[in-house]
Amino acid sequence: MDELPIGRRVAYWRGRRRLSQQVFADRLGKSKSWVDKVERGVRRLDKFSVLHEIADVLQLDVQLLLGKDPERRTDTLNCIDQVEVEEIRAALERYDSMSAYFDARPEPRRLDEMRKSVSHAWLTYQYARYGVLTRALPKLLRDAQAADAAYLGGDESRTAAHLLGQVYQIASSTLRKLGEHELAWLAADRSMAVSQRADDPLLAGVATLRVGNALVALGRARPALEVNVNIANRLAPAPGVEASPQRWSVYGMLLLQGAMAAARLGDSATVRDLFNGAEEAARQVGDDQNHYWTSFGPTNLELHRAAAAVELGEGRQAVDTHEGIGPTEFNALLPERRAHHLLDVARGCAQIGDVARAGEFLVEGDRLAPSEIRCRPIAHEVMSDVLRRTRGAPPGQIAELAEHMGVGI
């Protein structure tokens, strides 16, 4: 980004904020032609007052427009910016284990400290604090990679690999949420490779979930379905043999993610079959649990059932499924799961033409986990649809949320 002309930087960040040239111009009090000339480099931006106005509208540090390193933000409602993307990319491009093969191994962090950091990162993800997480991920990735390289071949090798595999999974899930699908796939693929060295089939199973999710996001639903079902079959508890809740949880989540991929393909028969298998796994687990950070259980299964209905274009079924979920069970789930579900139900409402209720679900999801609504591209699409189809001015809460999201009214 540093080498780009300032007009190109303005265009880039305007695109990241999902603002059309007209909406951007209106917020600046300028004409669309003025914005177009700035972005094409025809008109120079040589007044700091104008630069600061542009930065305010784009909700970023003015230093980014000047091609300089910004002051680090501290609020939790920011999404991911190119600065974070490039830092995470750089961390993913490290090959510490290969370097350690030739040279002296670096001094790593203690594994008990790493374990605490990884657990904190998981909770940060499951509470949908994506702005905090994207700023922490580059260092966490570097630390986990260094530990994996340093302990390679030693007594703690499997533990270090397990932690690195988890960090790759956290990175993959976060990047996918924020629309960085190629990087999400890379991190998930790394997780699968490392999980094999950790010698933990369940960790490898969860890594498969991340790969499948990234493939679906990339428009590759068929291979996503195949990989989820293939590994689910390998982890399926044998009939008559008692299995741990952890195994049932990972197995059940693989079936649910396979169902989501099948729904994307429009294969309702396969969706139904996979949900039948997941129901048995949920019965074995009992209440919703967070084994291997899956949040798997009967309630999460219903959330996926609603999401699959949306993918199949059956918005009414998605809404009906939501209304059948008990409030006590729903409120016991972590914020990311609940807000994600409310976004899915908003999509279902939009499918059946109930845009008013769709907007209400977006607002409710924003109260639970703002980043899940304000940072996800799919949420921006739903909000744009709500605004476009609302007659007259939208209700105040929806208009305010749209403003926060940068979606033009």
Q: Where are the alpha helices (DSSP H) in 288-334?
A: 298-311, 315-323, 327-331
Confidence of residue 48 (pLDDT cuts 50, 70, 90): confident
pLDDT, tens only, 173-194? 999 998 889 999 999 999 998 9
To the nearest 10 degrees (0 to 180), the angle between helices 111-126 and 130-150 is 150
What does the pLDDT read at residue 64?
Answer: 73
Structure tokens at 310: 């949306």
Alpha carbon of 209 to those of 88, 129, 163, 206: distances in Å?
A: 21, 21, 17, 5
| CA dist., res. 109 & res. 113, Å (int) | 7
Distances (CA, A) of 47 to 21, 24, 44, 50, 248: 20, 18, 9, 5, 61
Distance CA 179, CA 171 (A): 12
Question: Which of residues 24 and 99 earns the better pLDDT score?
Answer: 24
122 has pLDDT over 90 = yes
Instruction: Note whether 40 and 47 are within 8 A (CB).
Output: no
- Per-residue confidence at 12, pLDDT binned at 50, 70, 90? confident
Alpha-carbon span 9 to 378, nearest angstrom: 24
Residue 81 has a pLDDT of 67
Mean per-residue pLDDT for 284-296?
94
Distance of alpha carbon 151 from alpha carbon 398, whole angstroms: 52
Two structure tokens written together for 101: 């093969």
Per-residue pLDDT of 300-343, as tens digits, reads 999 999 999 999 999 999 999 999 999 999 999 999 999 999 99
What single letter denotes the amino acid at residue 15? G
Would you list the domain boundaries of the chain? 1-71, 74-179, 334-409
Share of the chain above pLDDT 90, in %: 65
24-28, 162-166, 263-267: which has the minimum mean pLDDT? 24-28
pLDDT on residue 103: 47
Asked whether the predicted pLDDT for residue 95 surpasses 60, the reply is: yes
- How is domain 1-71 classified at the architecture level of CATH? Orthogonal Bundle (1.10)
Q: Quick one: angle between helices 268-285 and 245-264, nearest 10?
A: 160
Picking from 6, 178, 166, the residue whose alpha carbon sits closest to that of residue 81 is: 178
Mean pLDDT value across the chain: 89
Q: How many CB atoms lie within 10 A of CB 201?
A: 14
Distance between alpha carbon 18 and the CA centroid of its chain, in Å?
A: 18
pLDDT > 70 fraction of the chain, expressed in percent and rounded: 92
pLDDT at 68: 66
The pair of three-digit structure tokens given for residue 102, joined into one six-digit string: 């030739």
Tell me the two tokens of residue 263: 């729904």
